[in-house]
Amino acid sequence: MLTAVNSSKKITLEEFLELPETKPESEYINNKIYQKTMPQGEHSAIQAYLSSAINQVGRPKQLVMAFPELRCTFNGRSIVPDVSVFAWQRIPRKPNGRIENRFEIAPDWVIEILSPDQSPNQLINKILFCLNNGTQLGWLIDPEDESVLIFQPNQQPEVRYDSDSLPILSLLTDWQLSVADLFGWLY
Amino acid sequence: MLTAVNSSKKITLEEFLELPETKPESEYINNKIYQKTMPQGEHSAIQAYLSSAINQVGRPKQLVMAFPELRCTFNGRSIVPDVSVFAWQRIPRKPNGRIENRFEIAPDWVIEILSPDQSPNQLINKILFCLNNGTQLGWLIDPEDESVLIFQPNQQPEVRYDSDSLPILSLLTDWQLSVADLFGWLY
């Protein structure tokens, strides 16, 4: 669960960004620091397989790139989605072409994976914050329920199960993934 | 958590409705039976106070009525929201004016309260099913996070915290409730 730490003392975003990184990562939301949960087996497996699958289809053609546990700092918050996917052209780069260390934009696609006992509203709030800042697609994966809650801007979300296909970024036109494919990685 | 029972055998809605009621209640969703969790302290307190508060403002003027754990059967599912609120005029009644036992319409306002270890996507799916069948407002209360996730038809949901006011049915124009008021009942 994301737990508020140092909640008695308000700090600024700048002060937060100067603190050493923690493990698991900390996030800065509404002037408070929250530490993420330490991912367990299912969470970790989904995060790894999904990042890898997205990169396998997205990197060769320079379409998108998926980053697990990437710190994204924008519009006054500093969050670390489980997986952040960026369109290739939006990936911040240094003048020499290498990927920047600091990402100060919202991902195009944000993926969160629920852990047992984690507060879903806090995770959903993070996804909605992204949507309100330009993110086009959000997934909330619930391993317990073997379902994915799909968020798109200004739309009612929907829950997908079993053989339902999962909406992906429109850049990845050739790729299809069902909910069953996703949870198949756990077996 | 809602747990699928008898999952090896598919039964029809009619067959399900003839089974004896269970405690906690069972729900019929996509041809499967799920048993609700036994509510614990916080869940039970919020459910009781909220139903009571809504009835205190809604009943004297015959505006709305709130029902905890009411079975609602519509569009092929039979669900038991934690709190179902109906506009007064929509409450099914017998010819003599008494409230019907069977409710075969969607509530106008549906409220679900997360219990620890409960699958949020399953609960959210229930709220979305209601919205797709005429419900105007859905709340998902997360006691751990002290927040309420608000659903309205065809809209992106939003999470409210602290002094944020909670949207209520437009019939209850005079009433205001903040998130802090709601969780204040737990102290």
Cβ B156–A159 below 8 Å, yes or no? no
Task: Specify the length of chain A in residues.
Answer: 187
Cβ B128–A154 below 8 Å, yes or no? no
> Residue A126: is its pLDDT beyond 70?
yes
* pLDDT score, position A39: 79
> Residue B3: is its pLDDT beyond 60?
no
Task: Average the pLDDT over B77-106 and give the result.
Answer: 96
A120 in reach of chain B (CB within 8 A): yes
Residue type, B179: V
pLDDT digits (tens, 9 = 90+) for A9-48: 689 999 999 999 999 999 999 889 999 988 788 999 999 9
User: Confidence band (pLDDT; 50, 70, 90) for B81?
Assistant: very high
pLDDT digits (tens, 9 = 90+) for A52-72: 999 999 999 999 999 999 999
Q: How far is the CA of B53 from the CAs of A50, B46, B49, B141, B181, in angstroms?
A: 45, 10, 6, 16, 11
Residue type, A127: I
Which of A131, A140, A153 faces B121 most closely, judged by CB atoms? A140
The full set of domains in chain A, from first to last, is 39-184 (3.90.1570.10)
> Residue B134: is its pLDDT beyond 80?
yes
Q: What percent of chain A has pLDDT over 70?
A: 95
Residue recorded with tokens 């797709």: B132
Nearest CA in chain A to B4: A145
B1 in reach of chain A (CB within 8 A): yes
Cβ B153–A158 below 8 Å, yes or no? no
Please provide residue A78's backbone torsions phi and psi, each rounded to the nearest 5 degrees: -130, 110
> Residue B1: is its pLDDT beyond 50?
no
Compute, in degrees rounded to 10, the torsion defined by CA atoms B27, B30, B32, B37: -40
User: Confidence band (pLDDT; 50, 70, 90) for A1?
Assistant: very low
Task: Average the pLDDT over A167-171 and give the result.
Answer: 94
List CB contacts of A177: < 8 A, sequence separation 6 or more: A53, A165, A166, A168
User: Confidence band (pLDDT; 50, 70, 90) for A5?
Assistant: low
Instruction: Measure in Å the smallest separation between the Cα of B131 and chain A Cα atoms.
Output: 9
Which of A121, A128, A145 faces B145 most closely, judged by CB atoms? A121
B168 in reach of chain A (CB within 8 A): no
Distance CA B25, CA B40 (A): 14
> Residue B93: is its pLDDT beyond 90?
yes
List CB contacts of B104: < 8 A, sequence separation 6 or more: B72, B73, B74, B92
* pLDDT score, position B5: 60
Please provide residue B93's backbone torsions phi and psi, each rounded to the nearest 5 degrees: -130, 155
A14 in reach of chain B (CB within 8 A): no
